[in-house]
Amino acid sequence: MSLYDIPLCKPYQTTHEIKFLKEVLDSGKLSSSGKFSQLCESFFENYFNGSRCLMTHTCTDALEMVALLLDIQEGDEIILPSYTFVSTANPFVMQGATLRFADSRVDHPNVDVASIMNLINDKTKAIVVVHYAGMAVDMDALKAICNAKEILLIEDAAQAFGSSNNGQKLGTIGDLACFSFHDTKPISCGEGGLLVINHPIFRKRAELLLEKGTNRLAFKKGMAISYDWQDVGSSFGASQLQAAVLYSQLQEMDIILESRKSNYELYENQLAELQLKGYIRIPKIFDFCSFKSVSFFIELPERKHRNLLMQHLNQLGIQAGFHYLCLHKSPFYRRIEFIELPNAMYWQEHLLRLPLYPDLNASQLLIITNAIKAYFINE
The pLDDT value recorded for residue 290 is 86
User: Which neighbouring-strand residues pair with 169?
Assistant: 164
Say yes or no to pLDDT of 93 above 90. yes
Q: Point out the least confidently predicted range of 72-81, 216-225, 296-305, 327-336.
A: 216-225
Q: What is the DSSP letter of 24?
A: H
Helix, strand, or coil here: 173?
coil
Q: Which residues of 8-24 are buried (b: 16+ CB within 10 A; e: fewer)?
A: bbbbbebebbeebbeeb
* CATH class of residue range 17-251: alpha beta
Torsions phi, psi for 91 (to 5 deg): -60, -35
The pLDDT value recorded for residue 200 is 96
CA 19, chain centre distance (Å): 28
Strands (E), the chain: 52-56, 77-81, 98-102, 124-130, 152-156, 164-165, 168-169, 176-180, 193-197, 289-290, 296-299, 351-354
Q: Per-residue confidence at 293, pLDDT binned at 50, 70, 90?
A: confident
pTM recorded for the entire structure: 0.96
Say yes or no to pLDDT of 1 above 80. no
The pLDDT value recorded for residue 31 is 87
pLDDT tens digits along 17-31: 999 999 999 999 998
The mean per-residue pLDDT over the stretch 283-288 comes to: 88
The pLDDT value recorded for residue 284 is 85
Fold of 253-378: Aspartate Aminotransferase, domain 1 (3.90.1150)
Show me where the domains of the chain are located.
17-251, 253-378
Select the more confidently predicted residue: 221 or 114. 114
Say yes or no to pLDDT of 379 above 80. no
Q: Point out the least confidently predicted range of 139-143, 170-174, 291-295.
A: 291-295
Report the mean per-residue pLDDT for the chain. Answer: 96
Q: Per-residue confidence at 226, pLDDT binned at 50, 70, 90?
A: confident
Pairing relationship of beta strands 124-130 and 152-156 according to DSSP bridges: parallel
Spatial separation of the C-alpha atoms in residues 372 and 147, rounded to whole Å: 46
Say yes or no to pLDDT of 326 above 80. yes
Dihedral (C-alpha) 70, 74, 80, 85: value to the nearest 10 degrees? 90
User: Which neighbouring-strand residues pair with 237?
Assistant: 56
| Cβ–Cβ < 8 Å for 170, 190 | no
The pLDDT value recorded for residue 294 is 83
Q: What value, to the nearest 5°, has the Cα angle with vertex 284 and ends 260 and 141?
A: 105
CA 258, chain centre distance (Å): 18
The pLDDT value recorded for residue 74 is 94
Strands (E), 120-278: 124-130, 152-156, 164-165, 168-169, 176-180, 193-197
Q: Look up residue 239 and give its amino acid.
A: S
Q: Per-residue confidence at 378, pLDDT binned at 50, 70, 90?
A: confident
Q: Per-residue confidence at 58, pLDDT binned at 50, 70, 90?
A: very high
- Identify how many contiguous H helices and E strands the chain contains and give both numbers: 14, 12
Q: What is the DSSP letter of 87?
A: G
Taken as a whole, the chain contains a residue count of 379
Spatial separation of the C-alpha atoms in residues 55 and 38, rounded to whole Å: 8
Pairing relationship of beta strands 296-299 and 351-354 according to DSSP bridges: antiparallel
The mean per-residue pLDDT over the stretch 38-65 comes to: 98
Say yes or no to pLDDT of 289 above 90. no
The pLDDT value recorded for residue 169 is 97
Spatial separation of the C-alpha atoms in residues 83 and 86, rounded to whole Å: 9
Say yes or no to pLDDT of 223 above 90. no
How many percent of the chain have pLDDT more than 70? 100
Q: Per-residue confidence at 32, pLDDT binned at 50, 70, 90?
A: confident
Neighbours of 282 (CB within 10 A): 16
Say yes or no to pLDDT of 292 above 80. no
Dihedral (C-alpha) 50, 47, 188, 300: value to the nearest 10 degrees? 110
Q: Which residues of 200-236 are buried (b: 16+ CB within 10 A; e: fewer)?
A: eebeebbbbbbbbbbbbbbeeeeeeeebeeeeebeeb
Q: Per-residue confidence at 145, pLDDT binned at 50, 70, 90?
A: very high
